[in-house]
Homo-oligomer: A and B are copies of this chain.
């Protein structure tokens, strides 16, 4: 019963005679032996590990995506190293460094910045990489995305169509691609609206897509002149914060202020009022990204692929669309 045989029992059981195999298994059990992935990795070059770098795991949008990815990766024997960057490029860099030192077998990443060169370099150094909710642009990278330009257009277009002329857009830094895209979509809707009326879109940039920042932004928003009659938020966390602040300030939604979110997280439909939002297939996004990653990591002759989903506007009470005669700016009306 030698070292090599033990290894074979673990990795190629069929090559070892049954009696020996059992003797080995019994010994493993008796001694409480647990193989070392590190040593395995050193020899074979696979760490059975995938890095997942995202903006914030406490954001339900990302958490759902992670669940989608975890489901497929777990079944393939991988474990996830989850890294929240909090939208900090330094933190992202540090994490990428650490993940590379760990020799992750793959990387799922929602990059903080617009510029993908660092990520592309990593991929170039041989780490299979899939962009999460972010397309590769000119870089040759796999990605699983939702059309954010279209999503932004849906959200803003909805508000313009309801007759709002002064819309505020609580958006994250435009260094974040999703934010830039949603803004572009919103501006597209704006241009269209302008053909009929003097519409305006006032962007308020916050530095994180969080509930906190949404609360702060809403306060600022109320002191704008003229006060906008509608807000569009770059995600539901921000929208939640905005709703909180408006509620505290006694501003009626949607009558004094219409609100639209983005992501359609699980609680959006049960907010007070129910939040109109742009739905993204979160779980599927993660699952597809993981599958692309496996393809790239295992497949021999891999071609980069991008999967793109279509966003969908889910209209609920917060935008006021359910009222007859959709609301005009600053004209509070009695609750039905």
Contact = CB atoms under 8 A, between A and B. Distances in A.
Nearest to A102: B37
A58 B47 contact: no
Contacts of A84: 67, 70
A49 B67 CA distance: 20
Contacts of A63: 57-58, 60, 63
Interface stretch (A13-21, A131-139, A263-271): A263-271
A42 interface: yes
Give the oligomeric copy count.
2
A182 interface: no
Interface in A88-147: 91, 95, 97-103, 125
Given A83-B79, A98-B79, A271 B269 contact: no
A3 interface: no
Interface in A4-49: 32, 34-39, 41-42, 47-49
A105 to B, nearest CB: 12
A77 B64 CA distance: 26
A81 B83 contact: no
A263 to B, nearest CB: 12
Nearest to A269: B244
Contacts of A80: 81-83
A207 interface: no
A-B interface, 4 closest residue pairs, ranked by CB to CB distance from nearest: A272-B272, A82-B82, A38-B41, A38-B38
20 contacts: A34-B100, A36-B101, A36-B103, A38-B47, A39-B42, A49-B81, A57-B57, A57-B70, A70-B84, A79-B83, A79-B98, A80-B83, A211-B266, A240-B266, A240-B270, A244-B270, A247-B270, A267-B271, A270-B271, A271-B271
